Amino acid sequence: MARIARNLGGLLGFALLWEVAVRTGLVPERFVPPPTVVLAELGELVAQRGFLADVLATVLAWAIALGLAAAIAVPAGLVLGSAPAVRVATRAVVEFLRPIPSVALIPLVVLLVGSGPEAKIALAAYAAVWPILFNTVYALGELDTVMVDTARVCGAGRARTLTSVALPHAAPFVFTGIRMSAAVALIVVVSTEFLAGAARGIGRVILEASSGAARMDVVLAATLVAGLVGFAINEGLERLGARLFAWSPVAAGAL
Q: Give residues in contact with other proteins (CB under 8 A).
A: 144, 146-147, 149-150, 152-156, 160, 165, 168-169, 171, 247-248
Burial class (CB in 10 A: 0-12, 13-18, 19+), 102: buried
Nearer to other proteins by Cβ, of 11 and 154: the residue is 154
Nearer to other proteins by Cβ, of 116 and 168: the residue is 168
| Nearest distance in Å: CB 176, other proteins | 15
Cβ atoms of 87 and 133 closer than 8 Å: no
Nearer to other proteins by Cβ, of 158 and 239: the residue is 158
Nearer to other proteins by Cβ, of 32 and 165: the residue is 165
CA distance 185 to 123: 8
CA distance 222 to 54: 10
| Nearest distance in Å: CB 75, other proteins | 21
* Residues in contact with 48: Cβ distance below 8 Å, sequence separation at least 6, in sequence order: none
| Nearest distance in Å: CB 148, other proteins | 9
| Nearest distance in Å: CB 85, other proteins | 20
Q: Give the type of residue at 62.
A: W
| Nearest distance in Å: CB 178, other proteins | 18
Nearer to other proteins by Cβ, of 194 and 245: the residue is 245
H-helix segments, the chain? 2-23, 35-47, 49-82, 84-97, 106-113, 117-141, 145-153, 158-161, 167-196, 202-210, 216-244, 249-253
| Nearest distance in Å: CB 87, other proteins | 21
Nearer to other proteins by Cβ, of 23 and 158: the residue is 158
Cβ atoms of 113 and 196 closer than 8 Å: no
